[in-house]
Amino acid sequence: MILSLTIMGTASAMPVSDRTPSAQMLNANGRLFLIDCGEGTQQQIRRCHLSFLRIEAIFISHIHGDHLFGIFGLLNTMAMYGRTAPLDIYGPQALGGVLKFYDSYFGTGDLYEIRFHPLSCKEPEVVHMSKAIAVSAFPLNHKIECYGFRFDEIVTPRHAQANPAYRAKSYAYCSDTAPFPELPGWVSGVNCLYHEATYPEEMADKAADRFHSTARQAAQCALQAGAGRLIIGHYSSRITDFAALEQECRDIFPGTVAANDCDVFEI
């Protein structure tokens, strides 16, 4: 399987001059999965040469604006392009009201159906099955209801028999969260882990107060999970030395990359 990740936004609550808020696109053999949809996501989709119409499903971690404010424009653009295929959207129950508002005021005449799937799991649960990918949701530890997502390649028995040494690919997305004991187990063994690193360790008190993680805490999660690679993002607007943040992680987990907007990673 070809599995690639495009990081479209690495900022946290406020966009800065060269970074937009959270959004990522996972490409699984041409099937696109959008993860969060912060302000500016449409522009980033264009900048990264991705397709609006090939998005199969959208996964929203929580309804803080920096993870959501781009969705109205995106849904409208899909309609303007003439999308007819249904669109599955997964997120906290409160997201249903947001989508209902969009549909009431802006969705009249849209040719495609928005199928909203509210999440309520207390531990990892498969919520979406594609031809080659199983997507699980799991709760995170944030101020409001918030979910992470894990994407696991589905290996058919025929493929496994033909390639007995093949290891299925996997990716996990952990947005806004304070550390908690279960998380490393829930993302155990993934090829690639994205974990927010809003603050450096010297701002650990602020991270705890706002239910976020430091770079060190992100690295500890990756180490405990046995992840193959760690990608960090969701940087505070106060952060300017991203190399130092990356090094803080690498002291614990050497396979760390501090992401920039429009970075592409092969998984």
Active site residues: 66
Listed residue (135, 121, 126) closest to 173, CA to CA: 135
**Bridge-partner residues for 214, per DSSP?**
199
Give dist(CA 158, CA 262) in Å, integer: 36
Whether the CA torsion 61, 19, 2, 189 is positive or negative: it is negative
Edge-first strand listing for the sheet containing 31-37: 114-119, 87-92, 55-59, 31-37, 23-28, 3-9, 264-266
Provide CB contacts within 8 A for 121, sequence distance 6+: 127, 137, 138, 139, 147
Contact indicator for 47, 25 with CB cutoff of 8 Å? no
Kindly list the distances between the CA atom of residue 52 and the CA atoms of 45, 46, 163, 242, in Å, as whole numbers in the listed order: 7, 9, 34, 31
Distance of CA 154 to the CA centre of its chain: 19
Structure tokens at 112: 């495609």
Q: Which residue has the tokens 């050497």?
A: 254
